[in-house]
Structure 1
Amino acid sequence: MEFRRSRMSLRAPTLAGLIEADGVVSRQRRNAARASTALRFLQDQPAVSPGAAMPAAGHLPVSSMKSDITACLPHVVLREQTRVEHERVEATAAMRHLFHDPLNVSSYAQLLRRYLELHAAWENRHATWLRGLVAVGWTYESRLPALECDLESLGDVSEAPVRKFESVATLSAWGALYVIEGSLLGGQVIARHLAGRFPAHPHRFFNLGSHRPAHAWKDFQILLDAALASPGDMRSALSQAKETFALFQTMFEALPANDRDGCIAQA
């Protein structure tokens, strides 16, 4: 997930702050804080009649127009309009434990198994669509091998049940993919913390984004913007992005109380 500023404790560093300190967040973030009004900008522009004189170049608010148009891009709208849902995920106890308390092996394995359940269900549901992304220039890397490797290294080799997801339109999968691909940014920060706690384990799942080129996230955003070309497409993707964040939140909150509390126990 592309993690953002949290309203959690002021005493502890937030995930968004850690990511920003590591220089992971795209510079485009500084250009778009007005997504809620940006969509109205283009709709409110007066039509120019055929043959009408255009305003003088010096009278065009170029910088303002550029900023508002940037805020209309689908990836920016998704980021701004899912901010609340994203912060709810960051505020879960399981997410806090990843950064501010020492995990034990059992708790770490339980968390990875939740991830495996979620990703297995989603990848199975959209397998054909994910394979077809190659045609538009994107190769989706399955999260399952990395999760299975990490669980095996922790001594957890049981089979994960595949949970059912509600049926969604194929195009709306772009909204879920935005959340899933964006999570690689925060995953790299999480991996560095886990490496200090469990140096003998590979942490392949959280390290998945480390081998990608620096421009990979920007490339994905360009493809996303091209795919969500109509208001209907955008609404569908936004709904699915919100649902995906909610699934992550539910996944973390569903951890048994003893596992959440066990996160502060020693291995």
Structure 2
Amino acid sequence: MNRSPDAAHAADPLAALRAATAGRHAALDSGLPIGSPDASLDDYTAHLALLRAWLAPLQAWLARFADGPAFDHEARLGLIETDLAEAGASLHGDVVTFTDAWPAAASPAYRWGVHYVIEGSQLGGAVLYERLRERLAPHRLRYLKGDAAGPGPRWRAFMQALRAGVRTPDEIADACAGACAAFDSILELRTGSRPPQS
């Protein structure tokens, strides 16, 4: 019998999250101009505008909860706005911003899944930074660069906290639902339509 997450991943929330979101992750990565070999500053600012439209409402929603994961993303929003301003881009952008409201009573596990997508996006940012820092100089690409220590230490701390906070099969399934919703929301912003549900 097929379950989500399946039994093979039931003991490891990280493996379950990766399996549950693999298709969505591939769909997102394959359609981002910032990932192309000839990515320009315009591509970077469009990428930042998309991330801002996605992350700002998520951060506001996550800040309402007093329990569960405690990973603040305000600093990342600040880096996005600084990079946009340095490039002379609008801080409002023209990205479509219609997304469903995030659930007011989401479980901690569901929110762990949302955080998984946000935290994982920073890992991809580090790869893009190495690829683009010379091409887009003198722009400092602060958002992609992130912390001076790189994303590794924060990601390791996140994984440890995730595994401590999401343990049971029901919690793992709830975390997978939150992660899928987070991917769906950014895919919706990027394409202007809701992606097919799997």
Paired AA for residue 6 in structure 2: S
Paired AA for residue 156 in structure 1: A
Q: Any unmatched runs of 5+ in structure 2? A: 193-198
1:38 aligned partner:
8
In the alignment, the residues of structure 2 paired with residue 155 and residue 230 of structure 1 have an alpha-carbon distance, to the nearest angstrom, of: 48
State the 1:204 CA deviation.
1.1
Correspondence 1:166 to 2:101: yes
1:115-145 deviations in Å (ceiling 9; x for gaps): 111111101111133x766xx7x54242210
Structure 2 residue aligned with 1:176, among 111, 114, 132?
Answer: 114
Paired AA for residue 144 in structure 1: L
2:133 aligned partner:
195
In the alignment, the residues of structure 2 paired with residue 164 and residue 245 of structure 1 have an alpha-carbon distance, to the nearest angstrom, of: 12
Correspondence 1:127 to 2:66: no
Q: Is 2:99–2:188's contact at 8 Å kept on the other side of the alignment?
A: no
| SS of aligned partner of 1:155 | coil
Paired residues in the alignment total 183
1:48-106 deviations in Å (ceiling 9; x for gaps): xxxxxxxxxxxxxxxxxxxxxxx7211121112221221111221xx2x3233423433
2:171 aligned partner:
233
Q: Any unmatched runs of 5+ in structure 1? A: 1-34, 40-70, 255-267
Structure 2 residue aligned with 1:245, among 161, 173, 183?
Answer: 183
1:24-52 deviations in Å (ceiling 9; x for gaps): xxxxxxxxxxx73425xxxxxxxxxxxxx
Counterparts in 2 of 1:119 and 1:113: CA distance versus 1, 3 Å = same
| SS of aligned partner of 2:134 | helix
State the 1:151 CA deviation.
0.2
1:109 aligned partner:
45
In the alignment, the residues of structure 1 paired with residue 92 and residue 27 of structure 2 have an alpha-carbon distance, to the nearest angstrom, of: 29
Correspondence 1:146 to 2:76: no
State the 1:113 CA deviation.
0.9
Alignment of 1:200-211 (within 5 A): 200-211=138-149
**Whose Rg is larger?**
1
Counterparts in 2 of 1:146 and 1:113: CA distance versus 1, 3 Å = same
Paired AA for residue 14 in structure 2: H
State the 1:164 CA deviation.
5.0
State the 1:170 CA deviation.
4.1
In the alignment, the residues of structure 2 paired with residue 164 and residue 249 of structure 1 have an alpha-carbon distance, to the nearest angstrom, of: 10
Identical amino acids, percent of aligned pairs: 24
1:138-166 deviations in Å (ceiling 9; x for gaps): 54242210000010011014435865542
In the alignment, the residues of structure 2 paired with residue 218 and residue 101 of structure 1 have an alpha-carbon distance, to the nearest angstrom, of: 29
Q: Is 1:176–1:237's contact at 8 Å kept on the other side of the alignment?
A: yes
Normalising by structure 1, we get a TM-score of 0.60
2:54 aligned partner:
118
Structure 1 residue aligned with 2:14, among 72, 75, 84?
Answer: 75
